Chain A
Amino acid sequence: MSKVRLLVGTRKGAFVLTSDGKRQNWDVNGPHFGGWEIYHLKGSPTDPNRIYASQTSGWFGQIIQRSDDGGKTWNTPGSKPEDLKGADGFPRGESNKFVYDTAPPNGKPLTTHQWYDGTQHNWEFKRVWHLEPSLTDPDTVYAGVEDAALFRTTDGGKSWHELAGLRGHGTGPQWSPGAGGMGLHTILLDPSNPNRIYIAISAAGTFRTDDGGKTWKPINRGLHSLYIPNPNAEVGHCVHRIAMHPSRPDVVFMQKHWDVLRTDNAGEQWNEVSGNLPTDFGFPIDVHAHEPNTIYVVPIKSDSEHYPPDAKLRVYRSRTGGNEWEALTKGLPQKDCYVNVLRDSMCVDQLDPCGIYLGTTGGQVYGSSNGGDSWNAIVRDLPAVLSVEVQTLK
């Protein structure tokens, strides 16, 4: 019988929640790495027992953790005696070493971006926001980091190297941080084309490579952002999250700082599909596992008031790829609710009917085992949830 495993990152540790395919009764395991911020955890699609976690701290910086047994035990990659050894006979301890590539490919500067006051500022590594394991190799993982850049490991997390073509393609000096920092937060791997990757950055926008990460181009045509000097600029948009269905990799959905958008041609042109949403501000967006035109968002009142409109937590579902939305409320709090749902805190499983999960800044994790028609609280009192990923296990 199938099982599902939720990987929940919070402000104070990681939690692993498991259930059978009915998704009614859950075991809660954790906290792992208690007291640390766990920005994101994600399992390898080819080896579900291989899970990577981003563990961070304002005091001690970045740690990468890896589990090879489905989240029961964890190690920092390269720290086992049989792992990589340095010249002194000790492991090198480089699994948390994220160093920007400062070589100037094509003669373009790689060292500065726009700061809050408009001056140029050196890139400074702060943390890993998102880990995206390869679709084909459990030792290969992409990492989206703050300050925004894309790194990759091909040795199971022991060492990381920047794909510097993203920062070096030319618009980097125009990127700037939002209030939450300048993070590369979304990485979409095209299952039909291993050379194509989409990424999104707050506040720079969305970018695409068609050659495996060597060269990149901004794909923000159609985005309209009133909070930047030129609302239709090539870069500078605060994209909160993008999502696609693996069967239609040219169709990508976007939750922007304001506006929900859709492209049907791999980002060459975006069109707004906010339709009848009560507000088109929000963070996560995701696509139903079996219905490529069914998408989900969680409207938030505004960029100044990060809680649901009318104090009601409502997931909105569109079965038409946008524009026409219905509120999903059954089992979700419909009064006095002032939580937020962050960009990496909503996900879908692969079961039928499709399960949907979301975590809140109030520490609740809600699940629906029927495509969003009704919801239950899986757990209510975790630390503030930063991310939720789900693994569907045989």
Chain B
Amino acid sequence: MIRVTLPFHLRNLAKVEAEVSLDVAAPVTLRAVLDALEARFPVLRGTIRDHVTEKRRPFLRFYVCEEDWSHHSPDAPLPEAVVSGKEPLLIIGAIAGG
């Protein structure tokens, strides 16, 4: 199972706890995980990436095993630690500052 951690407002929107678990068929990529997340929680469509272009929304980041994957190819295979469920994919909202 792939573990995904959501920011506060998306948890509330999807009516879930901080972390959700998803079945994702190999190869496990960022795109595949987000596809599975949106299929399971349709309310999240458009909130993490654009409906049409599928580009990441600017104030969100994807962290994987202490690395920023925000600019990685969405089709790059995720690390084994994420595939095995040892580590979560973190979806992080930018701090507002001020």
The interface of chain A, by Cβ under 8 A from chain B, is 35-36, 57-63, 76, 78-79, 88, 90-94, 96-97, 99
Contact = CB atoms under 8 A, between A and B. Distances in A.
Contact of B43 (A35, A36, A93): A93
A59 B51 contact: no
A59 B46 contact: no
B6 to A, nearest CB: 10
Contacts of A94: 45, 51
A92 B42 CA distance: 6
Contact of A99 (B10, B40, B51): B51
A63 B52 contact: no
Contact of A59 (B40, B52, B94): B94
A59 B51 CA distance: 15
A59 B9 CA distance: 10
Contacts, number: 56
B43 A79 contact: yes
Is chain A's binding surface mostly helix, strand, loop or mixed? loop
Interface string B31-63: 000000011101111111001100001011000
A57 B43 contact: no
Contact of B39 (A61, A90, A96): A90
Contacts of B74: none
B39 A97 contact: no
Nearest to B45: A93
A99 B42 contact: no
- Give the 7 A-B CB pairs with smallest separation, nearest first: A93-B42, A93-B45, A60-B47, A59-B59, A91-B42, A97-B51, A96-B46
Contacts of A36: 9
Interface in B15-38: 38
Contact of B93 (A59, A91, A97): A59
Nearest to A92: B42
A61 B46 contact: yes
B57 to A, nearest CB: 6
Nearest to B60: A59
A185 to B, nearest CB: 22
Given A57-B9, A58-B59, A90-B39, A96 B47 contact: yes
B1 interface: no
A99 B48 CA distance: 16
A76 B47 contact: no
